[in-house]
Amino acid sequence: MEVDSQEQLQRKQSTYLSLDENFEIQKEVYRGQQYSQIYFARLHMMRTLLYSLVPNWKSHLPVCTVLELEEGKECIIVGTLYKHMKLKPCILDEYSKERSVAPLIKPHNFMHQDDYLVLEDESGRVKLGGTKLSPSVYVTGVVVALHGKETSAGAFFVEDVLEAGLPPQIERPLKSREDKYVVFVSGLSIGSSSSNPLQFQLLVDHITGHLGDEEEQGLAAEIVHLVIVGNSVEISHGLLNGQNLASKDQSRLSEPFKELDILLTQIAASLPLDIMPGSSDPANFALPQQPLNRCLFPGSATYNTFRSCTNPHCFELDSIRFLGTSGQNIDDLTKYSEAKDKLDFLERTLRWRHLAPTAPNTLGCYPFTDRDPFLIDSCPDVYFVGNQEKYETRLLKGLEGQLVRLICIPRFCETGVAVVLNMRNLECHALTFGTQISS
């Protein structure tokens, strides 16, 4: 048994604080509650907030509810937006007697130029007109304040929009002088035909300090945390069609997990790791997804460094706040609105102060009765989304001095790219792996 003669490098550590309680569902109960309650909670919270912001915005105008609108009177109304979309799939279409000429393949984006917005509060709803509010930007579920007046047609002509804006950010003590890195990876898709296990093994080897020379291992020793952002396994759908599985197929079901567990054991033995569920993982479908069961990871769950987390996931490392999802919220926004790039969507969700405004409209969501857990109260320092097409990042500056690093994490099985964040200065770089040996 040989021990290296030189000093072994020590891995750096940082204090971890999990802020996931908001996303955990303690007693999942379906007593026939409807989604109106979550909308009401959302409207209530956001409206209180917007009312406090309105005086700074346009203090001379009265604020009224939708029913109190009078024709020609300029006022401010606050409510939830609803976007009426022509192409939005409706369950009733399946039952319609006439089959329209609409194509059978579902478009990736359901937008149409005829979409219009409607503002709704408890008292009523009113159609919105005017060019200020572009239906392509907004989605159902966003709470905004609108300045305008009612037209003779009964619609509300919008002159100005007030969004909640970036939430306040807790001051981060600039104490860290040293480089500490956090690695994000998502979309491992172990078990799928496109995943390359060698690539992930290289990542594991690099992070754990096997690969490379001392200098590189020194770099690796500065990695303090790894976050696996969803879609770690992929089980072929052929096995999941509800039929009874033959015994030989049953092992195929569990193979991806065993492989993942072995790899996670290697990681967990060396640094703290968080694993979040994604859309293809065996977790519940509706947001917030609950942590993956520890039984799935018999080997790695025994480590104190292993943490199974919810999706969305919020945590603090050395008092730097991280918030992120496995991608379902942004993917849904992509379907129902448009933007230049995914980072714009991220920014919008921050400005709307809501992680997933389309939940529960088009995004599966648990019917909360007393709160809306997706509201963002405090601005994170790092805001990430996983399972995207490519790696993108931007530093967002808020009006009140907030600084947020927005990160889109690409799917590792397709791109071989992981993202590394330096906690000292919120700088990001990509960690890419190539295994095309002979080409």
Partner 1 sequence: MTQIETLGILEEIQALVSDKLQVVSYKWLSRHFLVSSNVAKRLLAEFVEKHGSGLEVVYSLSGWLKNSPSNYHIQLVSRHKLSEAKQEYDGNCRADVYSVQVCIPEDPAAIWNTEFLQAEELFKRPAPVDNCLRDNRFCGISASFVKRNVDGTTARVAAAQPDSAGTSGPSKQNSSQTNAALPSQQNKVLQSSSKVAQHTPIMVKDVKSDGIREVHNLAVKPSTDKKKTTSLPSNKNKDQNGKSSTGNEGSLATLWGRACTKPKSSSVPEVGCDSIQNFNGTADAQICAREAVEDENSDLDAYEVNFRRASYGEGNKKRRVVFDFSDEDENEDAVNLASPDPPERKSLLGSEQDSKTLVPERPNSIVDKPNKDEVNIKEETMTDGEPNISLREETSLVSKRTNGRNSVVKLESQLPDTAPNKMDEVTDAAPNSPKRRKVIKTHIDDHGGEVNEVVWEGEETEVKKVENHMPKKVGSGTTNAEANTVTNTTNRPSAPQRSPAVGSTAPSNPGGKAGNKKAGNAKDPKQGNILSFFKKA
Residues in touch with partner 1 (CB under 8 A): 1-4, 8-11, 13, 27, 29, 31, 196-198, 201-202, 205-206, 208-217, 220-221, 258-259, 261-262, 265-266, 268-271, 291, 293-295, 298-299, 301-305, 308, 420, 427-438
Minimum distance of partner 1 from residue 194's CB (angstroms): 11
Minimum distance of partner 1 from residue 16's CB (angstroms): 11
Question: Which residue, 51 or 285, has its beta carbon nearer to partner 1?
Answer: 285
Question: Which residue, 91 or 295, has its beta carbon nearer to partner 1?
Answer: 295
CA nearest neighbour of 410 among 146, 154, 231:
231
Phi and psi (nearest 5°) for 214?
Answer: -65, -35
Question: Which residue, 59 or 438, has its beta carbon nearer to partner 1?
Answer: 438
Contacts of 388 (CB under 8 A, 6+ apart): 327, 330, 342, 408, 409, 410, 411
Question: Which residue, 164 or 420, has its beta carbon nearer to partner 1?
Answer: 420
Amino acid symbol at 310: T
Question: Which residue, 154 or 197, has its beta carbon nearer to partner 1?
Answer: 197
* Cis amide leading into 360 (omega within 30): yes
Minimum distance of partner 1 from residue 427's CB (angstroms): 8
Minimum distance of partner 1 from residue 422's CB (angstroms): 10
Question: Which residue, 96 or 438, has its beta carbon nearer to partner 1?
Answer: 438
Minimum distance of partner 1 from residue 304's CB (angstroms): 4
Question: Which residue, 140 or 232, has its beta carbon nearer to partner 1?
Answer: 232
Contacts of 182 (CB under 8 A, 6+ apart): 223, 224, 225, 226, 227, 317, 322, 382, 420, 421, 423
Cα–Cα distance list, 101 to 94, 153, 377 (Å): 13, 32, 46
Q: Helix, strand or coil for residue 223?
A: strand
Minimum distance of partner 1 from residue 264's CB (angstroms): 11
DSSP H/E element including 219? helix 214-221
Q: Strand order in 223-229's β-sheet? A: 306-308, 273-276, 223-229, 181-185, 417-422
Minimum distance of partner 1 from residue 200's CB (angstroms): 9
